[in-house]
Structure formats: C-alpha cells, structure tokens
Amino acid sequence: MRIITGKYGRRRFSVPTNITARPTTDFARENIFNVIDNLVYFDQVDALDLFAGTGAISFELASRGSRSVTAVEKAPTQARFISKVIDELGAREVRLIRGDVFKFLAAKSAGNGYDLIFADPPYDLPNFDEVPQMVLDGNLLRPGGYFILEHNKHHDYSSHPMFVEHRAYGSVNFSIFRRNGE
C-alpha cells in the first residue's frame, strides 16, 4: 500500500498476504482524490472511512491534512494492519473502530456527523445497496458534506436526489453524493 501525497506521502507498507479486502487501486485512488481535492479543504474535514480495508483511504485523508479520520473495519486482519500503520506513522488523527459498519451506522445515526464519508463495501455484499441509504438518510453527513461510494459497474445511483456525479477509473466506479447545505 502506498500513500500518494501529503505529510505521509510516498510511504509504503506491505499489506498482509492473508488480507481479504479488495484495496482501491493506486490509479483509482489518485484520481478520486484529485476530484475530492476540488470539493473540500482537507484541513476543515472530519472524515469517515467505512469498510476501511487496508486503511489506504483513511491514511490518504490523514496525509492530506484532514482534522480527523474515523476508520471502521470489522475483519481482524485488516483492523490489525490499520492499527499497525497508525502506530508506525504516529497518525493521531486516525481513529480505528473495530466493528461492523451496519451496527456503527445504526448506532451513529444521530451523531455529530462528518464532512466527508467514503465507503468501499465488498462488491458481493448482499445488502450493498442499503449502504447509501443508511449513510444519506441519517445525520452522519453534515450539511454541504460529500459521500463517496466505490462500486462496480453494475450499480447506478444517478436517480438518487443527492447524487452529484459518477466517475470510473478502469473497473473501479465512484458515485458522489452531496447533502444540501442548511
């Protein structure tokens, strides 16, 4: 895993061979972060990374200056890896929650919220299409905040009222949603 840019930029970490996550490719991650860079000021962002996997998104957000990053990951191997990288970087702005994303979303529906939420669920997750609704129907996303969902080409969210745009980089697709400012 490589952190692309920022204060932790160009750092590489060997991902465990027994990891079950499908990490976002460097190419797709670099391109979606170019888009995000034009949407937000990272130093004003509290971010949430759902289905964090290797933590690559979390560490990229932290490296670019996000105020805080909460990574939610259930799988023990991935959670241990994220924890190890947090320690190696001294990334105090990254907080790991070891647990089920759906339970986290249900419990946090009335929390303080986040400015940017990223979710990369397993593509074969049976309730994949529930993720956008759970994020966007609750109070997790602050007014004016963005939600980015990574998915395969078989999902189309363009009819959702908060949908902003779709981006595709190779076989990796991203749908971007925005909660209207209040």
Coil, strand, or helix at residue 22? Answer: coil
CATH no. of 26-178: 3.40.50.150
Res. 32 pLDDT band, cuts 50 70 90: very high
Res. 18 pLDDT band, cuts 50 70 90: confident
Res. 107 pLDDT band, cuts 50 70 90: confident
Res. 182 pLDDT band, cuts 50 70 90: low
Every domain of the chain and the residues it spans: 26-178
- Rounded Cα distance between 29 and 3, Å, is 10
Instruction: Return the pLDDT at 74.
Output: 96
Instruction: Return the pLDDT at 19.
Output: 85
Instruction: Return the pLDDT at 56.
Output: 96
**Could you give the maximum distance between any two Cα atoms of the chain, in Å?**
46
Query: In angstroms, how far is CA 9 from the centroid of its own chain?
Result: 18
The alpha carbon dihedral of 57, 63, 143, 179 has a sign of negative
Asked if the model's pLDDT at residue 81 lies above 60, the reply is yes
- Rounded Cα distance between 83 and 54, Å, is 10
Over residues 130-141, mean pLDDT: 90
| All residues at 6 or more sequence positions from 141 whose CB lies less than 8 Å from its CB, including other chains | 113, 114, 117, 135, 147, 179
CA distances from 100 to 8, 39, 75, 86 (A): 28, 29, 9, 20
